[in-house]
Structure 1
């Protein structure tokens, strides 16, 4: 059954919703180095929120402050309306799952999950039922008596997740949780994480440098650079309407074309290379300006003959082809040496591919395929 608009989970669009987590003007310095720079951010209950960025951008520092392992130099961090800057890690309604999983090798799966509960104020008689619930949730019932070295990497990951969720935290932090898994298992586990997060209703905050992982699991993604959040949005908005060249270039593959936009009534005419026709693009800009035009390779159509009904079209020669199984990426060189990438689905066998190296081809796209960026 299709979702009705009111069923869509988007508390960030509701002015009456109160965030579960609030960062307000948070700065974190390590000596002369600023890891987090005047950051303000809201995260809502039941979100699966991703902090995405390259190594050293500040995402792990942000998570460590939420966990209580670091204190902000300035600014406030609130959890459920309470300032938690001076609350010790063990007294926060927060749990953290590490990349290494940190399981006790001498304890069984059951005992690993029960470990934290036995040291909590939970009634001892209630612990077995809670552990059994976590085993069912993570589909580990038949592995309950095994030691960590007797189960697979994906199963160890689920044990660490079950242990982290056993005490029913308001917030679960996941630090590169799938980094140790092979690619196929990582993809499978991403969907398991989403399913478990939805079933428990726990707020998840994941730190990752894997764009595909963030785009798959998250309700919203925060793209970070040098201690600053550059853009926060849903995965489709991050991909389709990046707010800067940095975000467009960081997420997925993209063609970036520098030029000058002449704007008239919501349409930009972009002059970008001598001898090339200008690019036409719908835009929110209101004034002429220097710009970067970003268009994804899958938005570009590649044909042998010149298309007649497309507002943007350029001619070039196939320089290289990257065959990726389900898709092929064509690197097309223009007369001035610039290379534009176009992608096609491999819906035919490779022997029947329409284009090959050095073929002359036309690239074309619509006026809504790309975005005009000034930052």
Structure 2
């Protein structure tokens, strides 16, 4: 049976739709993008993720034609697009503010670009009807933007952006204005629409959860450089460095020194008076090399007694508890002063917690539970 997994980046024959080749962008003496190379494939939902000022919006603006690279080249479908004005590119951009025309109806907002291109009336009507259906706005065609909700306005902006069937749609923090619940619903809608249209989406966001939910691949950026480009599960489970481990989700990071003990097992000496920890790594570390062990709180088990046969077990007392409904996060302080977070699912409705403040507890995790990273 043929696999249906979508992973063109693993196919050496696949030609990228977008190609950044050694792109540098300077504004005066400031380097916003620093010698960056990246391939994005057709039908991808690609996320540029990073803190403010990391260069993700500059990359998007270069794709949209609002900025040109200082050095290097950007290709779209094999053609160099540097110097091609925004309206001549098969690219559309959906802005954070949605930029809808307040005096035009939803229908006319969606039709605007098609009419400007001089498309025949019946073709415009058919395409607008298709876009209204795609974004579930059929009932709202005659309303003005101020007569619909924020989530609906966002869908109008999306319908307008997709009406001209661009090869590439750029989305700049598209969910920044929505509340958390609506944001989550909209993320799934966006994925659904992207899949139905087959348009390549590139989204800029600083929200890790959003990037991890919607994207086929995520590029984690910092200071104009790509730190890691991978699928969301690889970014989360196999970060390549401390920056990525720390930037995505919640994590415990323990600093120590590594010594090889088996084929791929390392002993980590990390705190005075604490037993060494054990972790596996396929990347070679030198004996005595400084290292970081990154462990997700959900991989750490909390228990009142030391678990039998546990490879990694540390003792401490509960310092803080964050109750999040479905899970509780326990902050446990060890004798060395290190605080480690452990997460437990709240499977039952609890009348009282299993652990409370100041309780002595053991934390444990498996030898493969953490990711060992070079220091």
TM-score tier, shorter chain, comes to: over 0.9
CA distance, structure 1, for counterparts of residue 295 and residue 52 of structure 2: 26
How much has 1:350 moved relative to structure 2? 3.4
Q: Secondary structure at the match of 2:351?
A: helix
Q: Partners in 1 of 2:68 and 2:85 — Cα distance? A: 10
Q: Deviations over 1:32-54 (max 9, x none)?
A: 00000000000000000000000
Alignment partner of 1:76: what SS? strand
Cα pair 2:318 2:356 within 8 Å, conserved:
yes
**TM-score of the two chains, using structure 2 as the length reference:** 0.98
1:268 equivalent in structure 2:
266
User: Could you tell me which of 97, 107, 111 is aligned with 1:110?
Assistant: 107
Deviation digits for residues 167-218 of structure 1 (CA, Å, limit 9, x no counterpart): 0000000000000000000000000000000000000000000000000000
Cross-structure match for 2:207:
210
Structure 1 counterpart SS, 2:156: helix
Aligned match of 1:306: 306
How far is the alpha carbon of 1:334 from its aligned partner? 0.2
Residues 5 and 32 of structure 1, relative CA distance in 2, 3 Å threshold: farther
Aligned twin of 1:29: 26
SS of 1:41's partner is strand
- Answering whether residue 137 of structure 2 is matched by residue 168 of structure 1, we say no
Contact kept? 2:42, 2:200, Cα under 8 Å: yes
Query: Which residue number in structure 1 is paired with residue 196 of structure 2?
Result: 199
Contact preservation (8 Å) 1:58, 1:225: yes
- Name 1:189's counterpart in structure 2: 186
Task: Confirm or deny: 8 A CA contact 1:263 1:285 kept in the other structure.
Answer: no
- CA deviation profile, 1:52-88 (whole Å, cap 9, x unmatched): 0000000000000000000000000000000000111
Count of aligned positions: 372
Q: CA deviation at 1:310?
A: 1.8
d(CA) in 2 for partners of 1:5, 1:256 = 40
Can you list the C-alpha shifts for 1:216-253, whole angstroms capped at 9, x where unaligned? 00000000000000000000000000001000000001
User: 2:334 maps to which residue?
Assistant: 334
Residue 307 of structure 1, CA deviation: 0.2
Contact 2:274 2:336 in 1 (8 A): no
Q: Give the drift of 1:285.
A: 3.0
Correspondence 1:344 to 2:353: no
Measure the CA separation in 1 of the matches of 2:293 and 2:335.
19
- Residue 89 of structure 1 is matched in structure 2 by 86
State the 1:352 CA deviation.
3.1
C-alpha contact (below 8 Å) 1:259/1:270 kept by paired residues: yes
2:275 aligned residue (266, 274, 277): 277
Cα distance per residue 1:151-175 (max 9 Å; x no partner): 0000000000000000000000000
Task: Find the aligned partners of 1:75 and 1:285 in 2 and give their Cα distance.
Answer: 32
Q: Do structure 1's residue 219 and structure 2's residue 206 form an aligned pair?
A: no
Contact map agreement 1:300 1:363 (CA 8 A) in 2: yes
Mapped to 2, the partners of 1:57 and 1:263 lie a distance apart of 36
TM-score normalised by the chain length of structure 1: 0.98
Match of 1:42 among 28, 39, 43: 39
Q: CA deviation at 1:121?
A: 4.4
- Structure 2 stretches of 5 or more lacking a match? none
C-alpha contact (below 8 Å) 2:26/2:33 kept by paired residues? yes
2-structure distance, mates of 1:87, 1:9? 31
